[in-house]
Amino acid sequence: MRVSLLVYGVLYVVVEIVGAQIEAVGWPQLTALDVATAVANACLTVAVGIAVLVGLDVGGRRWRRSVQAWQEERTRLTEESWDEQTPITVTSWRPEPLALPAGTSWRPVPRTDADYAVPSHGRPFPEESGRLL
């Protein structure tokens, strides 16, 4: 079906070109040479159109193949460059960290004879009963 539409389109273009050139000459002055010129011009127009389409098709295929080869080459070179790479050593630009300050010395909790220890500082435990949190 595609080929038949293409042939119909080409014949339509030829008939239109021939008709336009014959109309330009006029029916009373029409000779066989005018008809032959119109047919030759129509065929030349169709041939140039086909040549342009074929040239675009061939150029597109060549361009596609060259782009594909270029991409394959880049991929191959990228893979090779990853294989050749070694680790990069970097020196730190930061200064050495400061030593931690000395903390308070450890003191044992004072022991009493009670069931609980009295804190050395702060508020002592309440003696009254109530809510203790």
**Residue-wise pLDDT tens for the chain (133 aa)?**
687 887 888 888 888 888 888 888 887 888 888 888 888 988 888 899 889 989 999 999 999 999 999 999 999 888 887 777 777 788 877 888 788 877 777 776 666 555 555 556 555 555 666 665 5
What global pTM score does this model have?
0.48
Query: Which residues 6+ apart lie within 8 Å of 107 measured at CB?
Result: 120
